[in-house]
Structure 1
Amino acid sequence: MARDLDQTIFVAGHRGMVGSAIVRRLKVLGYRHILTAGRDDVDLTDQAQVQAYFERHAIDQVYLAAAKVGGIQANNSYPAEFIYQNLMIEANLIHAAHQAGVNKLLFLGSSCIYPKHAEQPMREEALLTGTLEPTNEPYAIAKIAGIKLCESYNRQYGCDYRSVMPTNLYGPNDNFHPENSHVIPALLRRFHEAKHRGDREVVVWGSGTPMREFLHVDDMAAASVHVMELDDETYEANTSPMLSHINVGTGVDCTIRELAETVKRVSGFEGALTFDASKPDGTPRKLMDVSRLKALGWQASVTLEDGLQDAYHWFLDNQDRFRR
C-alpha cells in the first residue's frame, strides 16, 4: 500500500509502552498528522465520549493500543476491571471507527489469547482450541473479543480491521513498579538496586529453566505499522476472514536463567546469581510461531542484549517515576 503521510492517524493509548512506541515509529516514517488523546480528552470506556471524539475529528486510521494491563498479581486481584475495561475500550473504539467511516484499524492483542497448553511454538490456528491460563483468563477473553470484533466488522461491513498478537514486550515506558511489573523490568530494577546496596547476591524465583520469548517494543511498533501498511492482496493472502490475527515476536526464546544472566551483565551487578527452585516456574515454554509475519516481509531486528541495554538506560533516566 502506498504510504499517505497526510492521513490523520489516531493512536489510542499513546502514553503506554506500545502506544508511545507506535507514535515514535510513525514520526520517524514522516507521518504529519498523529492524533492522541489523554483521559482528560476522552474516556475510552465511555461510549458517548468516544463517539463524540470521532465526530469531532476526521480520522483515517486507528491504532488501538489502549488497554488495561498488568502482571499476574494484578490480573488475579482485579479480574472484573480487566475484562470490563478492555471490553469497553475495544468495543467503543471499533464501533465508533466504523460509524465514522474509518476503514483502517489495527487492534493490538496479547499472546495470552492462546490455550494454556497450546503446542509450541504457538500458531495463530491455536486460538479457541483449549482452556486459557486461569490467572489472566478475563483479560485474554477481552482480547479474543477484540479479534472477533474486527473479524465481524470486516465480514459484515467490509472494513479493513486487522489484529496483531505480540509476545512478551519490554522497553521504554515499561512499568517498573516493584510489585506489578513483568519479568524484565522487575529483574532490571532488582539487579540495579542490589548493585547500589552492595548486595552479594540476587535471588530469582524458580529453577531458571522455563523458556520465554521477548520482543523490544520498538520492534513491535515497526511490525504494527508494517502490518497496517500492507496492501489488501498481500494481507489477505496470508490470513482469512475467520483467522485474521497475526503473531508478532522474534521466533526465538531463552531460558529465564539466560535472561537473568544478561540482565546481570547489562546492569553491572557483580555479585552472585542464584535461583530459588522452591518457588513456582509457571508454564515451561511460551513461544510464538511468527512464520506468517515473516511471509509478510517483517522480522525482528533488536537483539535481546541491545534491547535490555536500551530499557535499562531508560529506567536510569526515569527512576523518579518509580520511587515508592
Structure 2
Amino acid sequence: MDLDVFVAAHRAEWDRLDTLLRRRRRLTGPETDELVTLYQRTATHLSLVRSAGPDPQLTGRLTQLVARARSTVTGARRASWGDVTGFLTRGFPAAVYRSRHWWVPTALVSLAVAAVLSWWIGTHPQVRATIAAPSQLRELTRPGGEYEAYYSSHPAASFAAQVWTNNAEATALCLVLGAFLCVPVLWIVFQNMLNVAVGIGLMASAGRLDTFLGLLLPHGLLELTAVFVAAGTGLRLGWTVIDPGPRTRRGALAEEGRAAIGMALGLALVLLVSGAVEAFVTPSGLPTWARIGIGVVAEAAFLTYVYVLGGRAVREGDTGDLAAKERNAALPVAA
C-alpha cells in the first residue's frame, strides 16, 4: 500500500472526524451519526496502516483520533464503589481460585525444599560454618538475639509499613517476571525458602526451634501463602508464553496479564494484613499458642474466602479478568 496515496485519499475524513470531536457537545443528530461512521472508518484505517508498514507519525495521529472517538462514542466510564466491591467479592478471589492448580503445587514443593534445606543446615555443623562464624551464630540464636530482636527493632507502625513494602515488592516481582519463561519466579521463591530454612536450621541446632516457629507462624502462614499465590500466578503467566492453548499468544497474555495485575492489588491487601500481624502480634506479650492461633485464623479466613467466594464466582463464569464489555472484542482465528 502506498501510504502517500492512502493519506491523500482519507485525510479529509480524518480532519472531519477531528472537527466533530472538537464540537462533540454541540453536535446535531446527523452529525452524531457521521461521527460514529467516521470513527469506524478511521479505526479500519489505523489497522491498515499498522499492517502496511511503520509510520510512527501517522500511526500516532490515527491512534489518538480513534481513542478520542471511542471515548466520545462509548462514553467515559468512572470507577465506583460497586467496582471495588465486585473486585473484592468476585474478581480477586476468582483469580486466586482459578490459579490454584499452580500455586498449591508451588507451595507444596517450596515447603518440601525448605524442609530439606532446614534439616541439612540443622544437622551439619560444616554447613552452618559456611553461613557465619560460631560467635555470630550464637548471637543470632541466643535468647533475645537478633532473630528475636528483629520483630521489635522498630516502632510497630513503621515496621508494618516496611514489612508490607518488602513483601509487596517480592510478590509484584513474581507476577511481573513470570512472563520471562518462569525462571526468575523460581529464583525468587527459592531465595525466600532459603531464608526461612536458614532460620529454622540455625534455631533448631541451638535447641530453640519452638521459639522460632512461635515468631514465624503468626504472620508467616498468610505471608508465605501470598508469595506462593503470586509465584503460581507468575508461573502460569510464563507458561502462557510457551503454550497459549487455543487462544492467540497475544490474547492469552493480555487475559492472564490483566488478571495478574488485579492479583497484585488484591495480594497487596493480604500482605497488609500479614504485615500488621507481624508488627503487632508477633512481638507481643501474648502466649505462643495465642499468637500462632491468630495466624492460623488469618490463614483459614483467607483460604475460606478464596475457595468459597472464588469458587462460586468461577462456577458462575468469572475469571478474574475485566468484564466482557470492558475488553476489546476478540476476532476469530484459525486453529
Shorter-chain TM-score: what band? under 0.3
Report which of the two has the higher share of helix.
2
Rg bigger for which structure? 2
Larger RCO: Structure 1 or Structure 2 (Cα < 8 Å, ≥ 6 residues apart)?
Answer: 2
Report which of the two has the higher share of strand.
1
Query: TM-score, structure 1 length as denominator?
Result: 0.27
